[in-house]
Amino acid sequence: MCGIVGYTGPQSAVVPLIEGLRRLEYRGYDSAGIALGTPGTLFIEKRAGKLVNLEESFDESLPVVHSGIGHTRWATHGGPTDRNAHPHVDNEGKLAVIHNGIIENYSALKAELQSRGHTFKSETDTESVAHLLSDLRKEHKGDLTAAMRAAVKLLRGSFTLLAIHADAPDVIVGVRRNSPLVVGLGKGENFMASDVAAFIEYTKRAVELGQDEVVTITPQGILITDLEGKAVAPKEYEISWSAEAAQKGGFTHFMLKEIFEQPKAVADTLIGRLSDNNQIVLDEIRMSSAEIKDLKKILVIACGTAYHAGMIAKYAIEKWAKIPVEVEIASEFRYRDPIINKSTLVIAISQSGETMDTLMAIRHAKSAGARVLAICNTNSSTIPRESDAVLYTHAGPEIAVASTKAFLTQVIAVYLIGLHLAQVRGVMKDSQVAQLYYEMLELPGKIEQILETVEPLRTLTRSFAQSESVLFLGRNIGYPVALEGALKLKELAYMHAEGFAGGELKHGPIALIDKGTPVIAILPSSHEHALDEKMLSNIQEVKARGARVIVIAQESDEVVGAEHIIRIPRASAIFQPILATVPLQVFAYEMAICRGNDVDQPRNLAKSVTVE
């Protein structure tokens, strides 16, 4: 959610701070602010609204100093106002704090601090930390790092905190608990941020932080300690993507760029996954053949778009590996006493690797003895670190809030898992697995075909811009695609959109159909169980009640009753979601443009949801 940046080094700190915050705008925010390490009293500036509001507030009096912290806030406690924007300071104006997450016991802390004479100026939970740190720093003889360790022991919740003090302005102290924080190692300068995107222009050397680890950075180096003050060896890694990858590259929006990056993302996720003897190569799973054969159940947990990838996983894994699969919304998982044990494999899907609902769900699963396999796009994030194994997708940085290429690569990942499990359990022959893998290798080219012919779809979408509602229909593995199409439209166009299983229409949803209601139907590519015929009947049902029907169908498939047909290349039914999803992404994108919405940063949404 919130974007966090810290810098200390030879540069004028305003530059890396503002550039870093701009690169983190994709996370979603409603206010922004910075604290500069001026000796005596910190320079603080913060504004509600977009980052440009903060920049426009700067004048010629802006000090040139070489350290500071910056923040973009997504409001939780207190509305999006100048007063509630971060950083928050102590009553002396010498100590500033920025924060991502929630301090659950802030109310009790605030009452205690007020009884000691502290005056609060905001409605936030964060300000209590600024006052608490101020007192604790004095108790620890000016040692901000020791004060942070002491403060964290008193705090409840999930959070990342950064603090700076005017008496030692080149020192920045940070800590993380169930919330992202990464350190960037430069030459004579160092960084902290909630995402490596903030400092990728300056360094590709990064250090991951563990739970409740406190990090202190100066221009000369970094020190990591646990809460007892014991030094922790840094875990350094190299960032694999470039600063240019996080730029728009000539596209109007990040989302459009990421839609067009999907052929490469899918290809990169598939590359090198089949051995010379036709074995799916998934060494990352870290499970022996005996353990895989012993599996009695698979449980997929995820949120939002990743949940739809999990629904597709159910179809693929049950079809290929013949293992029962349940799919659970991660935020609900812990509250129904799920039946899991050591014979259960939990697959956790998260683009960011920091999704708090999913993180808490995997902790619950592990405590019950289940093995956890993460599917993630972000190296060294929390969910992969706390899982037993991780299969990284290779989508590259996804900046737009609405997920596109991350979703397709998640689906590819679950296909690979399904084939691997089927092969190890002896359910499918090696030749069958190889045939399906080689068909997947054709998918990037087929996505390219769709994208090369997308302009008529964009034109068509504009004719629906004044619609109040859009309904999506799917059957079998097309049902999750319908749900994903509806979610994208909600996220971007701010309009009513729902996805339904085609057979459920007559059980209530058909009452929503009125004259002119747009209905997008995904025609099944398989004639098995006559699903295509059943969907064509559903199309006739809604058309008879006045709906304007758009059908997504494979080349040469016969379609009756559609006002518009969007053709996609032929593929096996199991792979149709990869192709059918792309037009729905374009539809949602263009609808948002027509309605004048912010495509990359939709209202009220954040890229990474790091609170429950």
CB burial of residue 243 (10 Å; 0-12, 13-18, 19+)? middle
3-state secondary structure of 136: helix
Cα-Cα-Cα-Cα dihedral sign, residues 585, 586, 588, 592:
positive
β-pairing, 518-522 vs 548-554, is parallel
- φ, ψ of residue 246 to 5 degrees: the values are -95, 10
Report how far Cα 546 is from the mean position of its chain's Cα atoms: 38
CA distance 60 to 34: 16
CB count within 10 Å of CB 252 equals: 12
CA distance 576 to 554: 9
Which residues lie across from 172 on neighbouring strands?
164, 217
Q: Residue 375 belongs to what H/E stretch? A: strand 371-376
Nearest to residue 235, comparing CAs of 215, 208, 195, 213? 208
Angle, vertex CA 31, rays to CA 219 and CA 178, nearest 5: 65
Cα-Cα-Cα-Cα dihedral sign, residues 342, 375, 524, 427:
negative
3-state secondary structure of 322: coil
Which residues lie across from 282 on neighbouring strands?
none
Q: Residue 146 belongs to what H/E stretch? A: helix 144-154
Which residues lie across from 350 on neighbouring strands?
376
Beta-carbon contacts of residue 230 (< 8 Å; ≥ 6 apart): none
CB burial of residue 281 (10 Å; 0-12, 13-18, 19+)? exposed
Active site residues: 2, 607
- Which own/partner contact pairs does 395-398 have at CB distance under 8 Å and 24+ positions apart? 395/261, 395/265, 395/268, 395/269, 395/351, 396/241, 396/245, 396/261, 396/265, 396/268, 397/197, 397/241, 397/245, 397/246, 398/258, 398/351, 398/607
Angle, vertex CA 209, rays to CA 287 and CA 155, nearest 5: 115
User: E-assigned strands of 51-168?
Assistant: 67-73, 88-89, 95-103, 157-165
